[in-house]
Amino acid sequence: MPQNQESRSSGILLHITSLPSKFGVGDFGPSAFEFVDLLRQAGQSLWQILPINPPSFGNSPYSCTSAFAISPLFASPEFMIRDGFLEEGDLEPALECSPNRVQYSPALDFKISLLSKSFARFSRRVDKNEYEKFCVDNSYWLEDYCLFSVLKNYFDGRSWSEWPEDIKKRNTVEEYVGRLSELVDQEKYFQFVLFRQWVELQRYCQKRGVRIFGDVALYVNHDSADVWAHPEFFKLDQEMRPVVVAGVPPDYFSETGQKWGNPVFDWNALRENDYLWWLKRMKHNLGLFDLVRIDHFRGLLAAWEIPASDPTAVNGRWQECPGVDFISRLFKEFESIPVVAEDLGVITQDVKDAMIQFGFPGMKLLIFAFDGDILENPYAPGNHVKNCILYTGTHDCNTIRGWFDEEMSEESKVKLENIIGKKVDSATVAEEMITLAMRSIADMVILPMQDVLGLGSGARMNCPGTAENNWEWRLRQWSTGDVEKLAELTKTYGRD
């Protein structure tokens, strides 16, 4: 494990959007601090979240307009009032929202309206030292992102590759900055408030002994500030559109593979630039989080490049990437790199070798543990290793109860019962799987909140390949009894 990891720990996977709040979506406000207190009462020392960047379309936290910025969804109105950025009357008319499901569009519109009111008040302040320092410290991404966000609205939401030629190719940036300066300043202010609130939550977690486990999507969206500002680091044509896009080849799960559509990195250009963009990205995320999961870690060693015009991933090809050279450069830059490699699916030997070389732990999922030969299955309890992160399931899986009720074969149920030595049913399977995880040799265990509560498939966070009803689940309550039960289990297996 990375040097700053403690052995035998555990935590909860719950995205911030899922927290309770009065404003349609979980945010950096009081409920986040209350959740940290509950984590400690339950004996947990890790809180894993999903990416907190601004979504570009749909609700997916893995599809964003920036690899650096924070989504306005997470702004806490309560703390903006507390800090003098808003007044109580600014919350009227109140947002009507469901406590059960996140309502992204109305929640985002409401938060932006509040931030805009706050900016109008803030712009009249004389003392802006903290804000100005933030702008200077973050200028390497903030200037481009804020202008990009303003231009997206200015050009009616069109992709930057469809903007007028002069600004598409960044020949008239200063002209547009001058013309839209107040709106750009407003966007900077939004980020100032968001990062200010995040740092407060981050410090509270540190004070309470909770490490924040963040998530970094390997690829970025084409329609993002990152690609617009640095097209030289991506494989684009003369019209600034992707020549090839990322995905994965056909496999057991899909005859046509998966075409994600993200532009592929031009690693030769990145290497010639000493990986500067990636160094800044990693420094940024290592400042935000105590531990960072790199999604699709395999893509650092080889990318499945698909012709952008192809409808499926069938005609893609593997293109080697200088992952080992890049990670070696990271180790020269940072004293410690607390990275977790997302290594699910078919993983080649070069990826395994790189993980061993750099000491990066991978992931094991108990939900995959009962398929095929139990002696050969790497996810089966008997085949776990210490240097890994063990999950019952992830945000992309069904809940354990939903899996048991709807997906698990009778043969797999027998294997599970043989391992734990007792019969299980829908009402007990989540608790038994959590106990199995806690008993594991794995150094770290992460439990989705839905499994801790024993919820069914209606509480599933995401169903890959579907566009509706994802990322919307919200936590209603974590009862004292459930908190105490998890605390006792955590203590029993030495993870407190």
Catalytic residue among 78, 295, 310, 371: 295
* Helix, strand, coil distribution of the chain in percent, nearest 5: 45, 15, 40
What does residue 92 show for φ and ψ, rounded to 5 degrees? Answer: -95, 140
Rounded Cα–Cα distance for residues 496 and 487 (Å): 8
Tell me, what DSSP letter sits at residue 290? S
Rounded Cα–Cα distance for residues 310 and 260 (Å): 12
Rounded Cα–Cα distance for residues 139 and 349 (Å): 40
CB 216 within 8 A of CB 51: yes
Rounded Cα–Cα distance for residues 121 and 195 (Å): 19
What does residue 45 show for φ and ψ, rounded to 5 degrees? Answer: -120, 5
Catalytic residue among 144, 290, 342, 451: 342
Could you confirm whether 342 is annotated as catalytic? yes
Among candidates 222, 225, 223, 252, which has minimal Cα distance to 234? 222
Catalytic residue among 266, 396, 417, 496: 396
Could you confirm whether 425 is annotated as catalytic? no
Contacts of 276 (CB under 8 A, 6+ apart): none
Could you confirm whether 396 is annotated as catalytic? yes
363-378 residues labelled b (16+ CB within 10 A) or e (exposed): bbbbbbbbeeebeebe
Q: Which residues pair with 448 in a beta bridge?
A: 13
Tell me, what DSSP letter sits at residue 371? S
The helix/strand count (H/E) of the chain reads as 18, 12
CB 205 within 8 A of CB 211: yes
Instruction: Give the residue numbers annotated as catalytic, written as ranges.
Output: 295, 342, 396
